[in-house]
Amino acid sequence: MDLPCVQWQDHVAQKWRALEPKLKEQFTSLLEIDDVFRCGLSLVRQDDLDFLQQESAVYSVQKDAELAAKCRVRGNSSFKTKNYTAAALHYSKGICFAPSTSEQLSLCYANRSATLYHLQHYQECLDDIDRAVKNGYPSHLLHKLEDRRTLCFKHLSVHEKGREDDQNPASNDCKGSDTANSPSVGPLTVGICPQVVVDSTVEKGRHLVAVNRIAAGEVILTDRPYSCVLLPGMEEVKGKVGRYGREREVLFGVEDRRCHRCLTETLILVPCDRCSYSRYCSTGCQQEAWEEHHRWECALGADLMAMGVMSQLALRLALKAGLKNFLLAREPIRDKHKECFNNHSSDPSTSSYGGSYLNVYNLLHHLNHHSPALRFMCAVTAATLYLKLSKAGPPPVSWSHTPQGPNKEGGDADWNAEQWMLGSAVLQHILQLRCNAQAIVVLQDTGATNSPVQSNREIRIATAVFPTLSLLNHSCCPNTSLVFSTGGIIEPSGSALSADFSGGEAEWRHKVQGVTVTVRAAKLITPGQEILHCYGPHSSRMVTQERRCLLQEQYYFLCQCEACSQQQQDVEEPRQQEPGAEGRDLGLLCIKCKGSLKKRSEDREAGFVCSRSSCSHCMSLSDVNNSLQEIRVNLEKAVELMETDRPGEALRLLKKTLCQSGLILAETHPLQGELADATARAYASLGDWNSAASHLERSAVAIASQFGKESVELGRQLFKLAQLHFNGGSRGAALSVIPKVRRLLCLHCGPHCHELQELKAMEDCLQGTYCSALPYGGIHATDPWAVSDFPLFLIFRSLVS
């Protein structure tokens, strides 16, 4: 929920409409953030605070022993059906809800230790046993924990011996590359490569420009967010399919599965001691979040959820920066060091708390582009948060001049006249985030856990501000690609870096871990070219007029990128367009002659006409939309059948739908690609790998048309195709597609991504390097691989005995 809840939006909108015309005029005329905030602050009344208190009650984040008990009961039900992952998540929720004095806390820890034992997380199981005992686990049940503890120690001793054996060079020869365990792997680093500098012009603002040649696939920059906020929401965790039916689905929010600081996905979350919402992957993350922002957010948890993610992220940015950095960023450039930083520094990420905040502070807030009503909404929201924070306790340490000891929550300092600037900073960041927030997306497993075919879907898990990434301007045909990582190391230091600068990397990049984004060159970038990435509207998937309209509405600029400029030239100087350009085939077929359909005019309601002059058959927009809708409904039904373990029924429906779609859709149409993808999944579920591969090849044609032959989407689709060929025993076909997959994934994701490790294992097996390690005709696939923008994402898991 990016924006405040609907009730708060309606409340503020009504407040705006009720303002006297003179006050409206005065507010609209304000041109400075400080003035807008002060005006909003003067208009907030006690009834506004009371209204927020009322609406935020539904987001209660208080500890509750009764809710903890309910979570434990749900966990017990999942445990009985051997759905240990779901059970662990339920117990973790119970731990977060349980007050420190409640017996439920020790019971949930003890029960979670049982699930961790069955999931073979023995050390974590021991840790939970210790927590259960520490929190007063009933003495008459302690023998259960002691027996479990003994079993864990036995397993760990066996694993320790196995680890010693693995250190033998002879045994290492049989292992695939594992960047997480390889001794050559160093901590993740962050910064900009030396081939790129920060430039600044009136037209483009601060942006990145290449000063030397950058080859395709090279890392241009790695950045971590100045701050991020996890998105509260529901993601599906399906039940396990059994012989007598399917266990009922259970739903968990993103907040139940990931650390609220580094976004690591884990079953073993560490709760906040005071609220039931915030939880972390470790005590380290818990403590760092507490010091950075949560000690002030904790009391406002429900209010912040009602105010939306953007408001919470804006508050975190201000809290992390502090008064000192905020005042420094506001000052005019006076010294050479700061001037150099703001214009031509090769590494603006030199400091997480100092330098990078300058990048955040200098992001455009577009105050004068926002409507008066929206400005009023943001101002009142920021002012209300400021007042709630001031009433909750002393001012944040970072915004107080009063020295405070390390053991004080906020000292005895009172809020003073200077600290209204905290609210002004929050307002500025709220306005900036409307154009500069970055969504963090990952692939999430769904579907039956014991099915040979596992599905994924792309979910947005957080919103963040990346100080260095924010310097990249938009292009509808970008020369870069982005990859996100959460909570760990992406790749070893120096990987994917050219020999020209890999030796000097220690001087330009800082070793960090956590949430990161890696930007690579998607094509050759020559000296003088600007480094660009796509804000959303892409030339391969959207016509120029639509792209420009969306960019103008959200980002307040008229796109003049290469793709848009070329189209403008084509309008002024008509010429024969190449396939894939603006006049590209729509992927729709004439039902009479099978020729391609084209739009009758620029009017969206005008319908379509056959491109063949000998036919010229017309179809209305409603007829085409009805046909497409019928196809999509059947596709969704087929997917549902597969999700309920009925691939045979799904395949029959898909075959019928493919006959229907063939009358109106070309092979390049995205919907035809989705149908082929789903059909491949159905065949794979039935163990017919060769038929699955045949249909996936058809899907790859649509992917290449939609996203391009050099896209990461095509690379992931071909990766699935390689797995199908491998599982089907088609050695030649698999070996022929593997080099294409390797090139595309290495280009976009780097040489150490999980898919490439699995690809190497498949290739070695097919070439006889270690066939004894993996049975021919099958390899265990555990990593997500997907087709972006498709509603269905697949992992074709092999049936390894």
Half-sphere exposure at residue 522, Cβ-oriented, CA atoms within 13 angstroms: 20
On whether residue 750 sits in a domain, the answer given is no
Residue 535 sits in the same domain as residue 482:
yes
Mean pLDDT of 556-573: 75
Name the band, by pLDDT with cuts 50, 70 and 90, for residue 189.
low
Q: Which residue has the tokens 């008990």?
A: 69
Name the residue with higher pLDDT: 603 or 100.
100
Please tell me the predicted confidence (pLDDT) of residue 333: 53
Residues 101-128: pLDDT tens digits?
A: 999 999 999 999 999 999 999 999 999 9
CA triple 177-178-180, angle to 5 deg:
155
Helices and strands, number each (H, E), in the chain:
28, 22
Does 116 lie in the same domain as 101? Answer: yes
Amino acid 604: pLDDT: 61
User: Does 700 map to a domain?
Assistant: no
Q: Cα 463 to the chain's mean position, in Å?
A: 8
Same domain assignment for residues 545 and 482: yes
Provide CB contacts within 8 A for 406, sequence distance 6+.
none
Residue 652 predicted with pLDDT over 90? yes
Same domain, 139 and 38: no
140 by Cβ neighbours in 10 Å (0-12 / 13-18 / 19+) ranks as: exposed
Residue 429's H or E segment, with its range, is: helix 420-436
* 679 pLDDT above the threshold of 60: yes
Query: Does residue 275 sit in the same domain as residue 208?
Result: no
Q: Among 36-45, 58-67, 374-383, 769-778, which stretch is predicted with the lowest mean pLDDT? A: 769-778
Predicted structure pTM score: 0.82
Instruction: List pLDDT tens digits, range 142-173.
Output: 999 999 999 999 999 876 765 555 544 443 33
Question: What pLDDT, in 10s, does the model give residues 67-96?
Answer: 999 999 999 999 999 999 999 999 999 999
Are 263 and 135 in the same domain? no
Q: For the domain that residue 102 is a member of, what is the CATH number?
A: 1.25.40.10
Range of the domain at 83: 65-159
* Overall average pLDDT of the 650-667 stretch: 94
pLDDT band of residue 394 (cuts 50, 70, 90) is: confident
Give me the mean pLDDT over the 422-442 stretch. 93
**Whether the predicted pLDDT of 343 surpasses 50:** no
Residue 689 falls within a domain, yes or no? no
Last residue in a domain, options 522, 548, 570: 570
Q: Which of residues 575 and 544 earns the better pLDDT score?
A: 544
| 52 & 85 share domain | no
Q: What is the pLDDT of residue 21?
A: 94
Report the alpha-carbon distance of residue 40 to residue 381 in Å, rounded. 9
Same-domain status, 143 and 267: no
Contact 254, 478 (CB under 8 A): no
Same domain (yes/no): 75, 49: no
We report the CATH number of the domain holding residue 538 as: 2.170.270.10
Residues 604/621, Cβ–Cβ less than 8 Å: yes
Q: Which residues partner with 473 through β-bridges?
A: 532
Q: Is residue 504 part of a domain?
A: no
| 3-class secondary structure, 416 | coil
Distance CA 296, CA 37 (A): 21
Average pLDDT, the chain: 81
Instruction: Provide, rounded to the nearest whole percent, the portion of the chain with pLDDT above 90.
Output: 55
- The pLDDT score that the predictor gives to residue 431 is 96
Instruction: Give residue 191's region: left, alpha or beta (phi > 0; psi -120 to 50).
Output: left
Using DSSP's 3-state secondary structure scheme, residue 545 falls into helix
Report if residue 126 sits inside a domain. yes
Pick from 524, 544, 570: which residue ends a domain? 570
What per-residue confidence (pLDDT) applies to 207? Answer: 92
- What pLDDT, on a 0 to 100 scale, did the predictor assign at position 447? 56
- What pLDDT does residue 755 have? 86
Domain final residue, candidates 159, 183, 215: 159
How is 80-107 classified by DSSP, letter by letter?
HTT-HHHHHHHHHHHHHHS-TTSHHHHH
Tokens matching residue 21: 């015309």
Are residues 50 and 69 located together in one domain of the fold? Answer: no
The helix (H) or strand (E) run that includes residue 43 is: helix 33-43
Q: Does the CA dihedral 382-328-393-95 come out positive or negative?
A: positive
Q: Is residue 212 part of a domain?
A: yes
- 519-525 mean pLDDT: 94
Q: Is the pLDDT of residue 528 over 60?
A: yes
When divided into structural domains, the chain yields a total of 3
Measured between alpha carbons, how far apart are the two ends of the chain, in Å?
Answer: 44
- Compute the average pLDDT of residues 410-434: 81
Q: Are residues 117 and 28 in the same domain?
A: no
Alpha carbon distance 672, 703 (integer Å): 10
> Is 444 contained in some domain?
no
CA-based nearest residue to 561, from 553, 572, 551, 571: 551
pLDDT tens-digit profile of 214-271?
999 999 999 999 999 999 875 544 444 333 334 444 468 889 989 999 999 899 999 9
Question: 72 lies in a domain?
Answer: yes
Q: What is the pLDDT of residue 24?
A: 95
- What 580-585 contacts at long range (C-beta under 8 Å, 24+ apart), as own/partner pairs, is 580/540, 580/705, 582/543, 582/544, 585/666, 585/668
42 and 70 in a single domain? The answer is no
